[in-house]
Structure 1
Amino acid sequence: MEGTAVEGTASTPSQHPAAGPSAVPKKKRNQLTPGGNAVLEDYWRQHASLDMPDISARRALLGQIQKHPGCEFYAMANVNQYFRRQIQKLKPPAPQPEDFRFPSLTPDALKHLSVLVKEQPNPSETVLKTWATLLAPMGATERDILAWSTYSKELLEIQAQSLSKSEPISASMRLPTPSDTVTPEPLTAASSMSPQTPIHELVPILVTGPSNQAFKHYKIEAQSPVIPAQQPFNPTAPTASYYRPRPALQVATMAPPAPSGPTSTPQSMVMSPIVAAAYTPISYTPISPAGGDPPRGEIEPPQLPPKPALRAIIEGVTDALADPRTPQDEVMLSPTSATEFEAVFATYRQRLAPLIHELDS
């Protein structure tokens, strides 16, 4: 009976609760009292510096802190930790990189690199190493400088390509604009086309009339200021072309008179074969405007007199070719004084005066 009771009692859940995780009480964290904290703050306020206080000063501070009730736990490690935090707060913040791709390049380093790249746009590997040495005090590394140089070149190429693609469309690439509308006028080809209108200025335009019948209407375009105007087309005028040769004229000789005798009037002479060939009339046959057979026979064109300057030149050439004198005669007839020279040159002066006047004008 007793064994059974003990066994039953042991099996009763109310007498033995279920075992669970043991609850560990949290250790209370020691904190510096306001009195001990005031000792550290007073010292830092008077001796703030980026350097850690010497060991003797820290030991003296530790002794003062431990004298306050509740600060017996404070040790030298806590004093050192306090001063490290204060020195870190006193230091200026480290400059942040402008681009995360080049973490070692600060804004100042990037400014220096921009100046160097302007002076030497395509630096070699040796030059980049030199730049890395110069910018090393700023924290710049050779790897970041090389990466930045490559990135800058690629960026400039991309910008140049984008600018070339964004250029304005030229006039040749623009879409054609609609043609001008037809002004209210008689919609007939004969009313808009006159016999004096050049063919190249007529542009056919398809127009729909009142009866919904499409026909062509010719519109006159404005004359271009660059292309020269062509001859107007006249269907009623004949299309025959004539050749007007130079007429053959008898030219007077320019033989000089003898120096000792009186001056004589020059007689007309026959032109030389070379000059006469240039004035031989050439027969021609006009083209029939109707396309039929040309008229039989030769039509003699009207002969026009040559210009005064040309006439004087031809006379001089004819006179030189017709002069029968020899070089020996020229030596004998050479003037020996100014009076004889004026007498010989008087006739030539009279004939040269119109020629000189014609050439000057």
Structure 2
Amino acid sequence: MYKSIIRPIFFLLDPEKVHHISFSLIKMLSKIGVLGLLKPIFVVQDQRLEREVFGIKFKNPVGLAAGFDKNAVLYNELSNFGFGFVEIGTLTPKPQDGNPKKRLFRLKADKAIINRMGFNNEGVANAVARLKKEHKVLIGGNIGKNKVTPNNEAVQDYLICFDALYDYVDYFVVNVSSPNTPGLRELQDKEPLTALLMRLEEENNKLSAEKGEKRKPILLKIAPDLTNDQLLDIIDIVEDTKIDGVIATNTTIERTGLTSDPTLLKEAGGLSGKPLKDRSTEVIKFLAEKSKKAFPIIGVGGIHSPEDALEKIDAGADLIQIWTGFIYEGPGLVKKINQAILDRG
């Protein structure tokens, strides 16, 4: 029904407006009890799907990537669609509007999306207020810096978000790979990235000791546009800083091989969806092989089918995330992937 009725209607409207409409619709369905009744349609419950990764037990390996529920508005409602975990954010210390609209574009011929949202969010304090309610799903906290914060002061922004979210998320993701905040990707260079991650690890160890709890896993989200030498640097950085893993990958600035309207292809921003599939898988495989599987990897990028998901897992991903595939293929994709994992045994 989603692909034959709902998606064609949604795709007639502006993508960002549809995002807000879908949030309102999901909220309404939850409030009147319909979403709970639909849950058995989307959820696969089986112990064989459980995964223990960086010290956390996941009910299943399929998560929702950051960028969908930026402000921690719908994480419990989204759990009804069968996700094993939901990643909120990217959150910044202060609220910010992001880049001027229009900033979200569908490339329907390529099953892709270009976005240049620019970390639009209500700020970490607003998200924390919502996260204080009971969680029905594991939550990842994706953190970044405000646009106005210069790179030489970026560490403080990440620390503010880290401290605020510490009691309310199950793991952290350090986002230095979005192409939509000017200069942000410069933080992926070895020296500034090492310094940032080391400082977050210091804070992690301090807070865990104060609270008498296990430290929170910290992951690094990387761009698909890194060279092999830069990926080797990432392996070294993970080893040196003792962070817990990598999310591969964020959106790409590449536009090679696309068939959509050339006017759309000129739009600035990060490309997600089907065209990212192969490059994302290449990065996962490279990291897994060159590091000798020294750390966990969450695979994301171009997953539109169970086969795409299994390909990521075979390349070395311990968990996977979807986002654009969720938009194009509908919520049934989560169940299909989990069922395919079970069927393969």
Q: Smaller-chain TM-score range?
A: under 0.3
Normalised by the size of structure 2, how large is the TM-score?
0.15
**Higher strand fraction (1 or 2):** 2
